[in-house]
Amino acid sequence: MENSKRGFLPVRHGIKLSKKQSPKTDEELRKMFDIPYASAVGIQYAVQCTRPDVAFALSVTCRYQACAGEAHWTAVKTILKYLRRTKDMFLVYGGGELILEGYSDASFQSDEGDAKSQSGFVFKLNGGVVAWKSSKQDTTTDSTTEAEYIAASEAAKEAVWMKNYIQKLGAVLALPSQWEMVGRGDVRMDRVTSAENMADPLTKPVSQIAHAQHFGKMGLRNMSYWL
């Protein structure tokens, strides 16, 4: 692990996990018995508090703690390799006017086990993200539109809460057009492309280029930039 030269992504592009990859024979069960799968996932969850770039990978791998197979363990080790390679990454925030930006996304029926979709949202304040979430939806949706609606609804609730919280602190919050509070605290949402949507990598594996672009926009920087 320590000498691994990989770790360019927390989840390899194109990789899908499912319960079909869980142990099926006694030999496979014995092989996985002493592997600290749950402990490794639990430790990584603490890192997620400051690293939105591993949120999606952890959301997926945590589903298999009771039935982890070799493919699931390989995915967990991929996250560990990525964290080792990017250990000097941290979030950077700027000064100036308080501007809150929010993005939401969904991947339709991405879980091969129960056909449920994945939701993701991210909120950015003064150059860096302050809130993010990647999670499997509770219900099975029948269309991409429905999955996107559920994801947007979750993000809208977070937007209202954040607006109220920041204003209680006595700050004057400026809202851009894509997240404008109207009426009784509702949110107006605009459609953006995947390339512009910072929540995209919170719902699905993306390429190395897209990964770097999205999380760079979120304010993740390497310590070497500041030394």
The predicted model gives 36-41 an average pLDDT of: 95
* Separation CA 203–CA 147 (nearest Å): 11
Residue with tokens 């997240």: 179
Give the closest residue to 102 by CA, choosing from 60, 141, 64, 131: 131
Residue 217 DSSP symbol: H
Beta bridge partners of 120: 105, 134
pTM recorded for the entire structure: 0.86
Query: Is 88:223 a contact under the CB 8 Å cutoff?
Result: yes
31-35, 70-74, 182-186, 213-217: lowest mean pLDDT where? Answer: 182-186
pLDDT per residue over 74-119, tens digit each?
999 999 999 999 999 999 888 767 778 899 999 999 998 899 999 9
Please tell me the predicted confidence (pLDDT) of residue 26. 95
Strands 100-107 and 180-182: unpaired
155, 166, 87, 158: which is closest to 126 by C-alpha? Answer: 166
Write phi, then psi, for 174 (nearest 5 degrees): -95, 130
The region of weakest confidence among 45-49, 97-101, 186-190 is: 186-190
| Per-chain mean pLDDT for the chain | 87
Tell me what pLDDT residue 186 has.
47
pLDDT at residue 177 is higher than 60: no
Directed axis angle between helix 26-33 and helix 70-85, to 10°? Answer: 30
